[in-house]
Amino acid sequence: MKTEQRRGTVSSAPAATANSAAGGAKIPRQQLWVEEPAGRRRMPDPVRRSAVRAVLIMSLTIIQAMVAFLCTLAGSWLAFPMVLSSVGSTVVATWSVLDVWVTRQVWNQRNGVVSAPSSSARQLRRERRRARRAARDEARIRRRGTESLSRA
């Protein structure tokens, strides 16, 4: 609602008006910067760190492979060591991408996954909670019934 209002309205601050050349009428200015809510939630810090690390490693691997290719075309002595190191860095880049996936899975396991209201897991939890409450209430009623009897 607020973003719709900000998008469609014009700022009413005194600095937001300017005199036009045609008669000195005040022309309202629109805001220069309008913040909109993010479309997706932010990644957790450990996952973001591993993703950044993976992107850097992959970009360096691509650069290294390109240099190896150009050295091979030029017939340089550096071609063979570059090809060998490109193979090694490809393995490391693959490992780093797997690290992102594993880190994401571990974070989801430790901190839980956001479930939608229609989630079956949430429905099962509700049913278990109701069953526990009913069992507690039933046990409480039974206890009260035995306490009220006389011991004569």
pLDDT, residue 57, reads 97
Give start and end residues of each alpha helix (H) in 43-78: 45-74
pLDDT, residue 35, reads 80
- Rounded Cα distance, 61 and 124, in Å: 47
pLDDT, residue 9, reads 47
Tokens 């910067």, residue? 33
pLDDT, residue 152, reads 55
Question: What does the buried/exposed string (b/e) look like for 125-145 if buried means 16 or more CB atoms within 10 Å of the residue's CB?
Answer: eeeeeeeeeeeeeeeeeeeee
User: Which parts of the chain register pLDDT below 50?
Assistant: 1-17
Whether 28 contacts 17, CB under 8 Å: yes
Amino acid at 123: Q
Long-range contacts made by residues 82-90, C-beta under 8 angstroms, separation at least 24? Answer: 86/61, 89/57, 89/60, 89/61, 89/64, 90/61, 90/65
pLDDT, residue 41, reads 82
19 membership: H or E segment, kind and range: strand 17-19
